[in-house]
């Protein structure tokens, strides 16, 4: 059949206008036949590409409707996109090969169309007249008709091939455009995931920070106040959580908040020195010392009680290549982990940064010990997940291999933002004495190194909390002032607790900051005190504190209608204050005083 078609076309062309040769038609026909299988395979690939694209669009749309995405979701989509990109590249190469051959076929088709037009104008009568023999004339007419039909079929086949090629080309171009849109969409999802992870980490870090701070304060209160109820513990935790800040400074210095004017005359505010635990290196003190010309060795020596013997700065310590970090696995200690620590602003003096780098390295090595994993928030040390660069990276590089050691092992190099002029021992705060912690009067010639003349910490001397409290004691406002009557109520609660500690369960604040745990009213406390045979405090005319010279408020003195120049234990009073105070007012440290307006 194929041979007959070729002979018909050859006859047709040779007889009427031999513009085209039979071998050209034969080549084109053969090529079209051979390409049918290849084109079918190409079409299958294009159909699969469409299906892949549709699935990718569905997956992206589905992910977009979810509240959150995971890295696994994104990785799966990225794999789909990569696979689709590869398929498009393969199809583009196939089309490129087809394009060259199609150009030749298209030229042949155009020539054949012109020739067919000319030949179709010859009538059967003209063919009959062209031959003397009737039989041969009939044969000529039959060949003429057959050759025209065959030419039409070849033209039709070529037209379909050209149309299919253009359709395939458009499909692939559309897929490329959709893929670009998919890539932009997945980039947005990745960005959202990064933000989501950052928010989650921030919330987790804040929750861990609040929990740790609250637990520490509750433990302290329980040692001073007997019989705290579960609800009272929750109340105290809420109050401290409301004012919890970073225990260390972090990547940027905290903003100082001005003390608002008192709405009362007289008004009273209890201000703490330092925040939060005052154990180990005083970060703002290190800042002040560096500004005063001290180098990192001097800074470390004074804060960690280094003696050059059992306690010393060891250089060239055999640190491990990697460290196990929560959420990151094993990463390089020096080049990745330490360079991503965010515990001190990079804008601070290099010597302070170097002291911080040594402390962070020592703390991490002591924490992981012989195979542990360190967390990435303020329960341990804040790790950003990427290098900070700049002066901080320089500080890490210049102190490489330097570790604070006790008996040749890394020591737990605690540090906190602000000591309020005085550091404390770990035994003072956690009943866990370590020889590298000390009670230090952290002063220079012009005052405390973390005070206004040097480091100028916003937490050096601060009244914490808000008298309004708000829902769950978290108003977010800042007004730490008490009226005279409110202060007198706290003193009455303190006196009642001294008389009968069994009544502590009724000494929660009466203001309703935590509505599930309201305490007795001012009147109830006063009446119960009188029933116990104890005078109420009466109208206060003067109140002040004294400290023992080591950064510890030992007594609070009161002059009132019923108590003349009477002193009370400063630690016991602090504990009752943190239980009874309205709103979320708290005294953070064991060193505090009273501001009187």
Task: For residue 43, tell me if it sits in a domain.
Answer: yes
- Same domain (yes/no): 151, 293: no
pLDDT in tens, 519-546: 999 999 999 999 999 999 999 999 999 9
**To the nearest whole percent, how much of the chain has pLDDT over 90?**
51
Alpha helices in 442-483 (DSSP H): none
Q: Say how far apart CA 513 and CA 428 lie, in whole Å.
A: 31
- Same domain (yes/no): 307, 408: yes
Domain stops at, among 418, 437, 458: 458
Position 336 pLDDT exceeds 70? yes
pLDDT value at residue 117: 56
- Same domain (yes/no): 301, 440: yes
pLDDT value at residue 16: 42
Which tokens in the block code for residue 576?
A: 């009752």
Position 21 pLDDT exceeds 70? no
| CA-to-CA dists, residue 518 to 420, 510, 534, 577, 581, angstroms | 33, 5, 24, 15, 12
Q: How many domains does the chain have?
A: 3
C-alpha atoms less than 13 angstroms from C-alpha of 97 in its C-beta half-sphere: 9
pLDDT value at residue 587: 95
Task: For residue 342, tell me if it sits in a domain.
Answer: yes
- With a CB cutoff of 8 Å and minimum separation 6, the contacts of 451 are 288, 421, 457, 460, 461
Q: Say how far apart CA 446 and CA 581 lie, in whole Å.
A: 35
Position 141 pLDDT exceeds 60? no
pLDDT value at residue 104: 64
Position 47 pLDDT exceeds 60? yes
Give the pTM.
0.67
For the chain, what is the mean pLDDT?
Answer: 81
User: 93: pLDDT confidence band, cut at 50, 70 and 90?
Assistant: confident
- Same domain (yes/no): 260, 325: no
pLDDT value at residue 233: 81
Task: For residue 218, tell me if it sits in a domain.
Answer: no
- Same domain (yes/no): 258, 180: no
pLDDT in tens, 226-247: 777 888 888 887 888 777 765 5
Position 400 pLDDT exceeds 80? yes
Domain stops at, among 458, 485, 509: 458
**Residue 206: CB atoms within 10 Å:** 15
Strand order in the sheet with 566-569: 540-547, 553-560, 566-569
User: 415: pLDDT confidence band, cut at 50, 70 and 90?
Assistant: very high
- Do β-strands 482-483 and 592-596 pair in parallel, antiparallel, or remain unpaired? unpaired
Q: Say how far apart CA 318 and CA 337 lie, in whole Å.
A: 17
CATH of the domain at 116: 1.20.1050
**Domain residues for 407?**
281-458
User: 475: pLDDT confidence band, cut at 50, 70 and 90?
Assistant: low
- Same domain (yes/no): 15, 117: yes
**E strand intervals along 134-203:** none
Task: For residue 210, tell me if it sits in a domain.
Answer: no
Of the two residues 333 and 38, the one the predictor is more confident about is 333
Task: For residue 291, tell me if it sits in a domain.
Answer: yes
**To the nearest whole percent, how much of the chain has pLDDT over 70?**
66
pLDDT value at residue 96: 72
pLDDT in tens, 145-161: 555 566 566 666 666 76
Helix (H, G, I), strand (E, B) or coil at 583: coil
Helix (H, G, I), strand (E, B) or coil at 272: strand
Task: For residue 211, tell me if it sits in a domain.
Answer: no
Query: Taking CA 364 as the corner, what is the angle to CA 360 and CA 368, rounded to the nearest 5 degrees?
Result: 175
Nearest Cα to 327, choosing from 314, 317, 309, 340? 340
Q: How far apart are the first and last CA of the chain?
A: 114
pLDDT in tens, 174-183: 777 776 776 7
Which tokens in the block code for residue 29?
A: 């026909």
pLDDT in tens, 252-307: 778 888 999 999 999 999 999 999 899 999 999 999 999 999 999 999 999 999 99
- Same domain (yes/no): 182, 36: yes
Position 10 pLDDT exceeds 70? no
Position 577 pLDDT exceeds 70? yes
| CA-to-CA dists, residue 523 to 202, 490, 504, 538, angstroms | 43, 12, 16, 13
- Same domain (yes/no): 263, 356: no
Task: For residue 559, tell me if it sits in a domain.
Answer: yes
- Same domain (yes/no): 352, 299: yes
Helix (H, G, I), strand (E, B) or coil at 569: strand
pLDDT value at residue 255: 82
- With a CB cutoff of 8 Å and minimum separation 6, the contacts of 437 are 279, 280, 305, 414, 423, 424, 425, 426, 427
- Same domain (yes/no): 174, 236: no
How far, rounded to the nearest angstrom, does the alpha carbon of residue 92 sit from its chain's CA centroid? 41
Of the listed ranges 87-91, 433-437, 484-488, 560-564, the one predicted with least confidence: 87-91
Which tokens in the block code for residue 294?
A: 């001290």
Task: For residue 214, tell me if it sits in a domain.
Answer: no
pLDDT value at residue 8: 43
DSSP type of residue 291: H
Contact 574, 592 (CB under 8 A): yes
Rounded average pLDDT over 580-590: 93
- Same domain (yes/no): 447, 484: no
Domain stops at, among 169, 203, 237: 203
Name the one residue in this structure whose structure tokens are 């003190």. Answer: 285
- Same domain (yes/no): 493, 585: yes
């Amino acid at each position: 059949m194929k041979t007959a078609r070729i002979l018909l076309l050859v006859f047709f062309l040779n007889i009427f206008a031999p513009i085209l040769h039979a071998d050209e038609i034969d080549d084109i026909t053969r090529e079209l036949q051979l390409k049918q299988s290849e084109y079918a395979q190409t079409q299958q690939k294009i159909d699969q590409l469409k299906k892949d694209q549709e699935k990718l669009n569905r997956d992206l749309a589905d992910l977009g409707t979810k509240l959150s995405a995971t890295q696994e979701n994104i990785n799966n989509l990225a794999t789909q996109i990569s696979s689709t990109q590869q398929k498009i590249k393969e199809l583009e190469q196939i089309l490129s090969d087809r394009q060259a051959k199609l150009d030749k076929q298209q030229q042949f088709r155009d020539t054949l169309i012109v020739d067919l037009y000319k030949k179709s104008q010859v009538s059967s009568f003209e063919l009959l007249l062209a031959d003397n023999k009737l039989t041969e004339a009939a044969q000529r007419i039959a060949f003429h008709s057959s050759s025209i039909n065959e030419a039409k079929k070849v033209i039709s086949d070529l037209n379909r091939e050209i149309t299919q090629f253009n359709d395939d080309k458009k499909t692939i171009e559309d897929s490329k455009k959709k893929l670009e849109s998919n890539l932009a969409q997945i980039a947005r999802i990745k960005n959202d995931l990064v933000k989501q992870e950052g928010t989650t980490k921030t919330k987790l870090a804040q929750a861990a920070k609040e929990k740790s701070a609250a637990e520490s304060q509750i433990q302290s209160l329980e040692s001073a106040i007997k019989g705290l109820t579960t609800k009272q513990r929750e109340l105290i935790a809420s109050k401290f959580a409301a004012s919890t800040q970073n225990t260390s400074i972090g990547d940027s210095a905290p903003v100082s908040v001005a003390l608002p004017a008192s709405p009362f005359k007289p008004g009273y505010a209890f201000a703490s020195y330092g925040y939060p635990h005052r154990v180990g290196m005083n970060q703002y003190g290190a800042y002040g010392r560096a500004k005063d010309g001290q180098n990192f060795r001097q800074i470390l020596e004074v804060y960690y009680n280094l003696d050059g013997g059992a306690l010393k700065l060891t250089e060239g310590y055999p640190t491990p290549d990697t460290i196990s970090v929560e959420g990151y696995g094993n990463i390089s200690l020096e080049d990745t982990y330490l360079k991503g620590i965010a515990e001190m602003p990079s804008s601070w003096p290099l010597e302070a940064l170097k002291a911080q780098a040594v402390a962070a390295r020592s703390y991490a090595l002591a924490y992981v010990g012989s195979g542990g994993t360190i967390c990435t928030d303020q329960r341990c040390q804040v790790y950003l997940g990427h290098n900070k660069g700049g002066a901080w990276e320089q500080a890490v590089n210049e102190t490489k291999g330097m570790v604070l050691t006790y008996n040749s092992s890394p020591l737990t190099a605690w540090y906190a933002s602000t000591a309020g002029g005085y550091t404390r021992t770990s035994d003072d705060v956690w009943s866990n004495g370590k020889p590298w912690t000390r009670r230090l009067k952290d002063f220079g010639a012009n005052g405390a190194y973390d005070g206004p003349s040097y480091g100028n910490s916003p937490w050096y001397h601060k009244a914490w909390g808000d008298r309004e409290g708000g829902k769950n004691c978290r108003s977010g406002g800042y007004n730490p002032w008490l009226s005279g009557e409110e202060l007198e109520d706290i003193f009455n609660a303190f006196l009642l607790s001294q008389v009968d500690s069994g009544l502590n369960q009724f000494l929660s604040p009466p203001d309703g900051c935590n509505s599930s745990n309201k305490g007795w009213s001012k009147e109830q406390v006063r009446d119960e005190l009188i029933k116990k045979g104890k005078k109420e405090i009466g109208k206060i005319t003067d109140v002040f504190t004294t400290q023992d010279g080591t950064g510890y408020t030992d007594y609070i003195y009161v002059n009132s209608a019923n108590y003349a120049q009477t002193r009370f234990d400063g630690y016991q009073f602090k504990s009752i204050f943190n239980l009874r105070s309205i709103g979320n007012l708290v005294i953070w440290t064991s060193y505090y005083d009273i501001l009187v307006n």
